[in-house]
Structures are given as C-alpha cells and as structure tokens.
Structure 1
Amino acid sequence: MTTFIFAFGLLLLIMLGMALGVIMMNKTIKGSCGGLNAIADADQCLVCKKDIDPNSPLRDRLQCPRAKKMLERAQMEAENA
C-alpha cells in the first residue's frame, strides 16, 4: 500500500511540474501534424500550416464522412476567427 501511495504521489508531482512548466512558458498546447489534418482536400496542416504531402497514405485511410465533417468545421472556425 505504501508503494502505491508513493508511486501515485510521484506521478502527481511530475504532472504538476509539467503543468507548471507549460503555464510559466506561456505557450499553448498544440496537436501534432498529420493524423486527421492529412485527410481529403486539405492542402495545409491545420496546426503548423505546412503543405500536406498529396501522396500521403493517411489520405486514403481517413476518408470517412466523420473526418470530413471535422475538417470542414475546423476550416469554418479558422475563417471566422
């Protein structure tokens, strides 16, 4: 039981340190490039604005209607901002 409490406390301390580091550096947390950013009809990554490889295998694997709706919603939000 003591080991569990020690391990839990240590992980809690590490997470607190990471959270404070992000807050003190005054940076926003961003997603990674690729993934849903590489789906159909997107010319640039939504996160870093770099061009997406048109031959990416992710384009073929992620062409579901839900992913397309997410992309359209993100583009509309970007235009309105």
Structure 2
Amino acid sequence: MATFFLTFSLLLLIMLGMALGVILMNKSIKGSCGGLNAIADADQCLVCKKDIDPDSPLRERLACPRAKKMLERAQMDVENARS
C-alpha cells in the first residue's frame, strides 16, 4: 500500500511541476501538427499554419468506407458547432 501512495505522490508532483512550468513560462499549450488535419483535405495545419503534405500516408489509411463515414460525421459535428 505504501508503494501505491509513493507512486501516486510522485506522479502528482511531476504533474504539478509541469503545470507550474507552463504557467510560469507564459506559453499556451498547443496541439500537435498533422493528425486529423492531414486527412481533412485542409491546405494548412490549424495549429502551426504550415502546409500539409498531400501525399500523407494518413490519407491512404482513410480510404475505407468506415473511415470516410467517421470523417464526414466529424465534419458535420464541426459545422453544427459553428452554427
């Protein structure tokens, strides 16, 4: 039981340190580049505004019908959220 509390305390201390680092450095947390941006037929990344590689392997992985449905549903959710 002592090992659990020691591990939990250590992880809590690490998380607190990371949070304080972000707060004190005055930087905002950003998402990663690529990912869904690479498959959404966007020209630029939403996070860093860099051009997206049109030959991304992620586009090939989403060629299946199930993945296309998921992508369409996600786009509809985004459009509904905007209105």
Same-fold call, TM > 0.5? Answer: yes
For residues 2 and 42 of structure 1, the distance between their equivalents in structure 2, rounded to whole angstroms, comes to 51
Which protein has greater RCO, CA pairs closer than 8 Å, 6+ apart? Answer: 1
Unaligned runs of 5+ in 1: none
Partner of 2:43: 43
Unaligned runs of 5+ in 2: none
Partner of 2:2: 2
Question: How many residues are paired up?
Answer: 76
**1:64 matches 2:68:** yes
For residues 44 and 60 of structure 2, the distance between their equivalents in structure 1, rounded to whole angstroms, comes to 16
Is the alpha carbon distance of 1:42 and 1:36 closer, same or farther for their aligned partners in structure 2, counting shifts above 3 Å?
A: same
- Between stretches 18-27 and 62-71, larger displacement belongs to 62-71
Residue type at the aligned position of 1:55: D
Q: CA RMSD in A?
A: 2.3
Equivalent position SS for 1:24: helix
Equivalent position SS for 1:8: helix
For residues 12 and 55 of structure 1, the distance between their equivalents in structure 2, rounded to whole angstroms, comes to 41
For residues 31 and 2 of structure 2, the distance between their equivalents in structure 1, rounded to whole angstroms, comes to 37
Partner of 1:31: 31
For residues 39 and 75 of structure 2, the distance between their equivalents in structure 1, rounded to whole angstroms, comes to 8
Deviation at 1:4, TM superposition (A): 1.1
